[in-house]
Chain A
Amino acid sequence: MAPRMLACAACHGKEGRSTPEGYFPRIAGKPVGYLYNQLQNFRDGRRNYAPMAHLLRHMTDAYLWEIASYFAAQDLPYPPAAAAKVPASTLDRGAQLALHGDAARGIPACAQCHGPALAGGGSYVPGLLGLPRDYINGQIGAWKAGQRRPHAPDCMARVANALTPEDIGAVSAWLSAQAVPPPSSTSSVSLPLPWPCGGIGAAAPMKEAP
């Protein structure tokens, strides 16, 4: 698979480990089902990013699953997290939202679904650490604007719509400044999730890759 996936490296970095440039997310080591859902979403127009849609347009579900499996299996070290460039009060607010949520406003903690270490888990729930801040801001904004539409029910749109721009800036600043925990702590998501989420457990097409 490696030579076939070289085209992805131009933006997502060697072996999908991301680049220092900022926007493009790391894909190496993400859960296979999560990556598969995203590939399908780009191909079928539920996520809008023309360059991804163009590359995936003539791919089968079976091939998308192989691609997801390839990148999910990459176990690569993360670079150190970039230092946050926001005031301490903003970071505190971000930490509060990520780890405890805001019960008064009905906002769950990130950790409730993405695990206490925010490292995701299982095949479908992604980790939230090791991502560029611009990317996190972009995704939450896309959920709010209806530009990122996963399988229904869309739990993340529900979360995103409850967040103010200040909330988003704070939580993205804090998340992007955290060190990524070692892989041993990654399988810590307990199902079912507090809110119903589409795409969890989407069927994988069975096909052997070379």
Chain B
Amino acid sequence: MTEAVQNISQPQIEAENLSLWYGEKQVLKNISIKIPRNSVTALIGPSGSGKSTFIRCLNRMNDLIKNCRVEGKVLIEGKDIYAPDVDVVELRKKVGMVFQKPNPFPMSIYDNVAYGPRIHGVNKKDLDSIVEQALRSAAIWEETSDRLKSSALSLSGGQQQRLCIARTLAVKPRIILFDEPTSALDPISTARIEDLITNLKKDYTIVIVTHNMQQAARISDYTGFFLSGELIEFDQTRQIFHNPKEKSTEDYITGRFG
């Protein structure tokens, strides 16, 4: 790690010696990382290296998996999210997540975006503007403004994924986790989502898991390389791609395995 990464002060996300087991199997080994505010961090590594599992620790989605055990600390804005007094529901409002497969609810476009705020008790009259705002920020307002009442399932895959991003934005999170958000999309849709992520950086802290190395290089400020449950290397993206410290990082990004 270069000094630039070690000296990140007041990180928005911080993991300290984070380990995770599914039953007997250890999936994450002593992960320590500091992720600064308003940046895009890409996590790369072969399948099964633990990168998706890691981001699912940041909003405690792993709680859903039985026999899952976590040790170590995860601090979001300085607060340990695995402390016993933490309200997981509140945590997930702050830390949004966009999944690999576009998965809008079987409802109208409007209702999809309004779903979160509505349940969180937002006033009916404020809802319209929240929905419009979220759809605009997710760069899908132009395509949907005249058909908000039609089913979200009538949209194309790429549109559905942007709608899912809008749905996440509507809850007003501070951090957004992307779990391979473009792996099910065509190149044009992928490019639009990448532009969108770059734009969202102004207002959000973004962590993205990707299998696509070019994508990591294009959109991220920081890159972490995972291998067999360990965070092998974490640094500025430039460093990782041009001057990796570890042999295995270099092997992976040059395509020698993975």
Pairing of A with B:
no
* Chain A residues at the B interface, C-beta cutoff of 8 Å: none
B interface, CB within 8 angstroms of A: none
